[in-house]
Structure 1
């Protein structure tokens, strides 16, 4: 029998004791449908519980616990590294439970690897539930400690502890933090005043910064007027800038740009509507 550990919220313990670990849907990582993520029990306590700190970042009710489960050696599982699809991982793919334990145990660095059981865990397969220290393991990614964090728009953690101070301390040359709205508005108005209808390069740069905000000054008609700018690049950037805004009037603005004569502007509107 192969032994694995599954990390979950302490609030789930009564249900797990009663009916096991339910199969949850997963559309990321290994992208293998519904099932249960777990990790083999290794001689190293730290490696066995390596996912604790990373999972704790996403919150839990009552802290996290380690649920030890015993699976039949012939149980088919999926094996791979969280940072890549299993098809691209050396030694990854569909294997039996005993083979998954052997492969991970032989790795020089098993951090970040995971096993996916494509079904629910039955109550009789739950071997034990133990309290787990909330400080074991890595955060963000293995070897992240001591590495200068990236504050670009794609990497930064929005709303995370200390995220705003980190962006202010290590500003990204392209991704902020963005200038205040009043400064950006002054740039847009100055560009429009300098020529008719305004320098596209200056306007597109301002729209880039506006796109990092949850709301914007659309009601002042300063940005809404860019919907008729003769440069299609400005109109397309306007679509992406307001994509995440909760400002009243965004839907009407997108409706107007949905019939834009330029195909890239229309495609941008369609993509934003699907995301919203």
Structure 2
């Protein structure tokens, strides 16, 4: 029997002891199942994902759930980055343990069980120290963190100070609204498209904005400005956004209409 460890919120411990682990995660190809890692001789390597998973928040910290799987159980094994490329290999559980244990550096590897874990397969649930493992990615310590929209964690500890200290040229933090409005006024009438699209780019990073000042851009002669306006206000909670999108949905340019349609499509 192959032994793996699954890290989860301590709030799930009682349910896991009673009913097993639900197939709540999505793996390669959209399959549903459970992520885990082989129990190796090295404690830090076995629990390497702990600090990274803790960044997403958990009630009462994380616990380690030890799971025994049949050696012939097919699992997906590979590095985290291989998942998006569809390059994780389907192998028996025992082979996944052998491959990972033989690696010189198994950090960043994962095993995905494409099904739920039955209660009889749960060996034990125990508390795990909350300091093991890497954060962000292996060897991240000492590397300048990236503050782009894709890498940053909204609401993470020190996230705002980090963005202010290391501003990203495209993803902010954005200039204050008063500066953006001054740039909007300086762009002229009807306004230089390049300058207006830059202003819209920065306003799109906000959750609310001066809708009344931007709404006249729905009549701008450049369709690129009108399309960017739609994407800028798409996630704003400012009153009046639906009415502005209604106007843009009737735009003569097909790209603008398609942008509104995409915004309104359910996830």
Q: Determine if the alignment matches structure 1 residue 259 to structure 2 residue 250.
A: yes
- In 2, Cα distance between the equivalents of 1:161 and 1:230? 43
Q: Determine if the alignment matches structure 1 residue 42 to structure 2 residue 48.
A: no
Deviation at 1:102, TM superposition (A): 0.8
Aligned to 1:173: 169
Flag structure 1 segments of 5+ consecutive residues without an equivalent.
none
Q: Determine if the alignment matches structure 1 residue 224 to structure 2 residue 187.
A: no
Deviation at 1:86, TM superposition (A): 6.9
Aligned to 1:131: 127
- In 1, Cα distance between the equivalents of 2:136 and 2:148? 15
Contact 1:7/1:38, CA 8 A, preserved across alignment: yes
Contact 1:32/1:118, CA 8 A, preserved across alignment: no
Deviation at 1:275, TM superposition (A): 6.0
How high is the TM-score relative to the length of structure 1?
0.92
Q: Give SS of 1:272's match.
A: helix
| Stretches of 4+ aligned residues off by more than 3 angstroms | 86-89
Aligned to 1:51: 49
Aligned to 2:193: 200
CA gap 1:86/1:200 in 2 versus in 1, 3 angstroms: closer
List per-residue Cα deviations over 1:115-148 (Å, max 9, x = no partner). 1111121222111112111010011111111110
Deviates more, 1:32-41 or 1:205-214: 32-41
- In 2, Cα distance between the equivalents of 1:78 and 1:270? 37
List per-residue Cα deviations over 1:239-259 (Å, max 9, x = no partner). 111122111111111111112
Q: Give SS of 1:59's match.
A: coil
Aligned to 1:21: 21
Deviation at 1:153, TM superposition (A): 2.2
Report the RMSD for the aligned CA atoms in angstroms: 1.6
Flag structure 2 segments of 5+ consecutive residues without an equivalent.
none
**How many residues are matched?**
267
